[in-house]
Chain A
Amino acid sequence: MPLVQVLADGLVVGAMIALGAVGLTLVYAILRFANFAHGELIAWGGYFALSLLTLATGWLGLEAGGIGGLSIGWALLAALAGAMVLTAALGIGLDALLFRSLRRRGGAITLIIASFGAALALRNLIAFLYGPTPTYYSRAIPMALPLLPEEVAAVTGQIRMTPDQLFILGLTAVLVVALHLFLSRSTLGRAMRATAENPDLARLFGIDTRVVIRWTWAIGGMLAAVAGVCFGLTAQVRPQMGFDLLLPLFAAAILGGIGSFHGAVAGGLILGVAESIGVHLIGAEYRQAVAFVVLIAVLIARPAGLFGERD
């Protein structure tokens, strides 16, 4: 396989990791704990979309087939939108039921073990409700298209990507730009950054941190749902999908500097490419080990990450 193809595949995986890592890092920035349940938001996003897809094609009679060369049709797009709302609600609900009362008692570390327990419960709830077997949104086999003109491909090797993969890259780019504008321009986005910087001072300036916290979960949940649907599109929908993504998410967030939005995006893309190269060299079964190696290397060499501030 030409190197350019390995890199391109890595970017698609990296885009999904980035979407997850952004949510993880936002929760860390605002609530200051490593949320081991974030992977499950991704998995639930994927399964919400699966259920809504059945509803949309069955009840609303939306076309299940793809638009253009995509295997994504209007039905799946509608399901994705619905899944984003539901996953955001799941994040907010989890916070209201569990994390909020633990926050009041103090101790970020209790929050970590609670999130670990919540992750197991959420993951097994999927296995209970949907069964353990993996499924797909669509049985269509996507056609991979050559992207580079012949003259270039003769030198570098050809890149082939399915329309779905291109869609994932485009959607991620749009979401990242939108979130960047939101965090830098809007009042709420600025309030989020202020709360991340110094919650007490933010409250003193009249920022309602409860609203900020709700929106943090909402944004994290929506991005997680997109990541989950993208994962389902390129691989499969399975109860373990969130758990399998969790280590890459943490590695990406720490690589970028935990708490940093831009860092999480960059970290996600770098990690995706690193995984792709690692899989090419040592085989797919050790994919997650790449994330662990990156994680330990960052912790030894530059614990603050690429974009993080030093403690």
Chain B
Amino acid sequence: MADLLGIGAYLVFFLVVALNYAVACLGLNLQWGYTGLFNVGVAGFFAVGAYTTAILAGPDYPGQFGGFGLPFPLAWAGAMAMTGLVALVVAVPTLRLRHDYLAIATFGIAVVIQLVAQNAQWLTGGAFGLNLPRPLFDAVGDPVLWNLLYLALSVLVVAVLYVGLETLAQSPWGRVLRAIREDEAAARSLGKSAALFRIQAFVLGSMIMGLAGAMYASFVGFISAQDFLPILTFQVWTMLIVGGSGNNRGAILGAIVVWALWTLSGRVMGLLLPAEMQARGAALQIVLIGVVLALLLVFRPGGILGERRQVSRHL
């Protein structure tokens, strides 16, 4: 019985993290799946959301910027706004140019954000990271129950995002995004400003990633630079490609499947390798996932679900 409870508690924890990834994955799907924008800086936008939440909602420490102690809904909204602002800085100079430049610029901003996370002690806590209270944790009392409630909140966020993004994708706005992705010249000839639509999609997608970061920080209660390494970007990309880019259900499914494989392979490595090899085992795990992604791209580029064909209702 105790074992069953333990497994159940672990499952709840697992699902919260998986849904957290799913939120980031939905943001990436809006950028890449629907609009064809190549964002290699997912970890950076995620980090901006997480740090903004910690600064806005966290307690006041001496010599440390922030500690506003704001209520969580406000902190999350602030996190999304801040991420949107950072996204705008990258988007405006690059989105009128070739798509490679966006990839390189997003890579760059993620590197810079990582540097700030590591070194700007006054803002991000540097190597010591930042603590923040978990919302209503003391009021709920029981950690397992709190995790369960947080899972319910995560499900709600994912559901709202899913419905919202599906509605957007079906809307005239979403159709313009796909039109730009498929044939920019044709979309432009119909009088649509490709750059403007791209900037909107990019900023909105990044804000969703910022929300994912905010949810992560609030769930864990402690963040540091180590949480936002490039591997995070790669995980979210793998999730989207495995699930099927251009498909919101695929993005959610991919997040759960890949996170399950990731934790499972981590467990297997942990069991197979001796203690002194554990650090190298983590490296080997990343190598394996990299190879899986490459194989998928070569042999099954559509992912598990793939993109549904959207045809006019009148056909």
Contacts and interface: CB of A to CB of B under 8 A. Distances in A.
B294 A98 contact: yes
A163 B232 CA distance: 41
Interface in A86-129: 98, 101-102, 105, 108-110, 112-114, 116-118, 120-121, 124-125, 127-128
Given A102-B297, A292-B108, A296-B105, A132 B279 contact: yes
Interface in B265-292: 279-280, 283-284, 286-287, 289-291
B101 A303 contact: yes
Interface string A295-311: 11001100100000001
Nearest to B295: A98
A300 B105 CA distance: 12
Of listed B40, B112, B283, B287, residue having the most chain A CB within 10 A: B283
A186 B108 CA distance: 37
A284 to B, nearest CB: 10
Given A128-B280, A247-B111, A303-B101, A101 B298 contact: yes
Interface stretch (B92-100, B182-190, B195-203, B305-313): B92-100
B241 interface: yes
Contact of A247 (B93, B101, B108): B108
A279 interface: no
Contacts of B237: 113, 116-117
Interface in A252-311: 254, 258, 285-286, 288-289, 291-292, 295-296, 299-300, 303, 311
B297 A300 contact: no
A217 interface: no
Contacts of A34: 100, 103-104
Given A286-B119, A291-B108, A300 B93 contact: yes
Contacts of B290: 117-118, 120-121, 124
A108 B294 contact: no
Given A121-B286, A124-B290, A299 B97 contact: yes
Nearest to A239: B283
B241 A113 contact: yes
A243 interface: yes
Interface footprint category on A = 35 or more
A246 B107 contact: yes
Nearest to B238: A117
Interface in A32-65: 33-34, 36
Contacts of B231: 120
A131 interface: yes
Interface string B100-133: 1101110111011001001100000000000000
A132 B94 CA distance: 35
A118 B294 CA distance: 7
A101 B287 CA distance: 20
Contact of B105 (A102, A109, A243, A299): A299
Interface in A128-160: 128, 131-132
Interface of B: 36, 38, 40, 93-94, 97-101, 103-105, 107-109, 111-112, 115, 118-119, 230-231, 233-234, 237-238, 241, 279-280, 283-284, 286-287, 289-291, 293-294, 297-298, 301
5 contacts: A98-B294, A109-B38, A110-B297, A247-B111, A288-B111
Given A116-B233, A254-B104, 12 more contacts: A34-B100, A36-B103, A109-B36, A109-B38, A112-B38, A117-B234, A117-B290, A124-B286, A247-B108, A254-B101, A289-B112, A299-B93
The 5 closest A-B pairs by CB, nearest first: A121-B290, A127-B283, A124-B283, A124-B286, A34-B100
